[in-house]
Amino acid sequence: MLKNLPTKSFRFKDFTIEGYSRAAVQSYWRIPEFKIGFDLGAQPWSFMGTPTWLVSHTHLDHIAALPVYVARRRMMKMEPPKIYLPEHAVEPAQQVLRVFSQLDRGRLPCEIIGIVPGQEIELSRELVVTVKATKHTVPSLGFVIWERRRKLKPEYLGLSGEKIRDLRLAGTDITEEHRMARLAYLGDSSPEGLDWNPEMYEAEVLITELTFVAPSHRKEKIHKMGHIHLDDILARRAKFKNELIIATHFSTRYHATQVRNIVERALPDMLDRRLHLWL
């Protein structure tokens, strides 16, 4: 497979997290097993098979590859993709595609869908995404992927298979939906994006931005820029129930070793070994 961009990969239970993110450079993530991606700051050649993308906000490091991605899928004769964007961005994104279509002299077929906090997106029978409000310097969204299963309602748990079959045949709804938050993606946000959405702390996997780590970068200033500082993570350590916390979107002001040293000094146990620095 052609390698045009850096990507990292991490296996968690039955799914894989792939991607890369540095502030002001580029962010792109995908979960191949869920057939879904987050942000289009750039587009690794290997990611084009993922047909559905959720864009957290329209800063260029999160959306610049939109025309490239759509064009590649068309060239490779893949179905037009579905791209979900914050509602205000739909019209400008369509304009951008029209202009690139003129420049490139090729159609850019895709479905652009506006979304707002509180909305649900059905990915499949088993998977649903909920759209969350976050806080950044432009309108921004976070996402939670839920796995849903139908389970027997508690009042029917003790019944025999035969009785259950009879109830089912009589048209009784004997099951109810159970949801499990598999993965939360914060996008770019100040800590409110976590605090407003308790699911972010409870999902099995959390991908959170951690743009600033150095003590000299004051967190008050960082919050105004719509980002998270290492101090914010420290202050919330008891809240994280996640099995895996991926910290990413580090500022380009830091080298990888610098980030590692500062975080390991502040959090020697790396949140009980659950914290993974995506470097």
Q: How far is the CB of 28 from Zn ion (least distance, A)?
A: 11
* In 134-191, alpha helices (H): 161-169
Amino acid at 244: L
DSSP 3-state assignment of 79? coil
Are 186 and 134 spatial neighbours (Cβ–Cβ below 8 Å)?
Answer: yes
Which CB, 59 or 73, lies closer to Zn ion?
Answer: 59
Q: Virtual CA dihedral for 180, 21, 208, 89, nearest 10 degrees?
A: -80
- Binding-site size for Zn ion (CB under 5 A) equals 3
Which CB, 135 or 219, lies closer to Zn ion?
Answer: 135
Q: For the chain, what's the residue count?
A: 279
Neighbours of 80 (CB within 10 A): 14
x/- mask, Zn ion, residues 25-64, rule CB under 5 A, reads ----------------------------------x-x---
Q: Find the angle CA(223)-CA(229)-CA(233) to the nearest 5 degrees.
A: 115
Taking CB under 5 A as the criterion, the residue among 39, 188, 204, 232 binding Zn ion is 188
Q: How far is the CB of 38 from Zn ion (least distance, A)?
A: 12
Instruction: Identify the sign of the CA torsion 271, 276, 278, 279.
Output: positive
Amino acid at 93: A
Q: How far is the CB of 95 from Zn ion (least distance, A)?
A: 20
Q: How far is the CB of 196 from Zn ion (least distance, A)?
A: 17
Which CB, 61 or 204, lies closer to Zn ion?
Answer: 61
The answer to whether residue 227 forms part of the interface with Zn ion (CB under 5 A) is no
Q: How far is the CB of 162 from Zn ion (least distance, A)?
A: 57
Query: Which residues in this chain contact Zn ion in the complex, by CB under 5 A?
Result: 59, 61, 188
